[in-house]
Structure 1
Amino acid sequence: MSFQNRLRLACAGIVVSFGLALYGNHAGWPDSRVGFLTGMGAGLVALVAFLYLAPRWWRDHCEEEYSSRASRDYRRRLWPAMLLYVAIVFASTWLLKHYQMAMPLRAVIAIAPALPISFVMFAFLRYLRTVDEMQRRIEMEAVGVAALVVSQVYLAGGFLQLGKIIDVPSGVAMIWVFPLMCFTYAIGKFLATRRYR
């Protein structure tokens, strides 16, 4: 898929996300669902803005990596796992909200969305084994930056919480670890690629 086609796909996603959010707001959908759709649209807006503003060397690197066999194999394993993750999140949330059940079963249903993320991690490890040495070095540096930054943020947040300066529920704090790792990994990869280009 070319750069322009990816931009068109992202723009279509923006229209669909905001369109569904507006419809849901008018139709009385739950605020959580409308908020999710709005957040997805906003994330796609940020992605399109980044793609337009990204330097040429980064776009060239992405095109080259996107067309590689290792990247194609990784995406073939990644997308089914991510779609399964979204489906399980919606299903488990609905079940936990609408049904009373014994604690062991409730725990299994609550933790079920983590299973597809395990498939994503295994797919990433397999991807690391198949890329060349330079790309592996970039990826490992990006993962290292993500781990260090998120650890530092959570350590600082823990001290602020103990000092009664902030009050973040533990469930909210824990569930944001993986998205923050992904976000800081992307920044780390951008910086590492620039360093080694």
Structure 2
Amino acid sequence: MHKLFKRYARAIWLPATVLLAVVVAFGLLQRHLPPAGKVIGVAVLMVCYCWVGWAEFRHLQGMDEMRRRIEMEAMVLAFIASVGVTLAMFFVNALKLARVPFDVVPGVLIGCYVLAELWARLRYRYWSL
């Protein structure tokens, strides 16, 4: 396995696994929780998300300039695309052109990020982490 991929996997596996476990547990249990339990669940979910973000940020700081440039381009493109798509979904829903359920928004945001990463990697023909 590639040295950089091993370093990335070592940095991200625990926060990502805990986040995934919390998302699944919260998704299964949230109907049975009282309002205070739901607030605590959301707080735990956000703490786990921040942990994953911090691990990603630390990984970004350890990259060389080329990898950092690719990652930053992908993040900016993902931000622009996700805000645009979210605005479009909001107005489509607000103008009653179609019903857009709020549940699709996280998937759309993640999709924007994945497509932006692929675009940046294809643009530079650079596939290393």
Q: Taking structure 2 as the reference length, what is the TM-score of the superposition?
A: 0.80
Residue 75 of structure 1 aligns to which amino acid in structure 2? A
CA distance in 2, matches of 1:76, 1:129: 15
User: Which one has more relative contact order, counting CA pairs under 8 Å at least 6 apart?
Assistant: 2
CA 1:189–1:86 in 2, change beyond 3 Å: closer, same or farther? closer
> Which residue does the alignment assign to 1:138?
70
2:55 aligned with 1:123, yes or no?
A: yes
Residue 141 of structure 1 aligns to which amino acid in structure 2? E
> Larger radius of gyration, structure 1 or 2?
1
> Which residue does the alignment assign to 1:79?
13
The CA deviation at 1:133 is 0.5
> Which residue does the alignment assign to 1:30?
none
Gap runs ≥5 in structure 1: 2-66
The CA deviation at 1:119 is 1.3
SS of residue in 2 equivalent to 1:167 = coil
The CA deviation at 1:108 is 1.1
Percent identity, please: 29
> Which residue does the alignment assign to 1:190?
118
> Which residue does the alignment assign to 1:61?
none
1:63-114 superposed Cα distances (whole Å, 9 cap, x missing partner): xxxx244x43332121212221222123223333234x3x333211234223
Match of 1:90 among 6, 20, 24: 24
| 8 Å Cα contact 1:139/1:189 also seen in 2 | yes
List structure 1 segments (4+ residues) > 3 angstroms apart after TM superposition.
179-182
1:118-160 superposed Cα distances (whole Å, 9 cap, x missing partner): 1111111111111110110000011111111111111111111
| 8 Å Cα contact 1:78/1:123 also seen in 2 | yes
The CA deviation at 1:165 is 1.0
Q: Taking structure 1 as the reference length, what is the TM-score of the superposition?
A: 0.55
CA distance in 2, matches of 1:116, 1:191: 28
1:1-53 superposed Cα distances (whole Å, 9 cap, x missing partner): 4xxxxxxxxxxxxxxxxxxxxxxxxxxxxxxxxxxxxxxxxxxxxxxxxxxxx
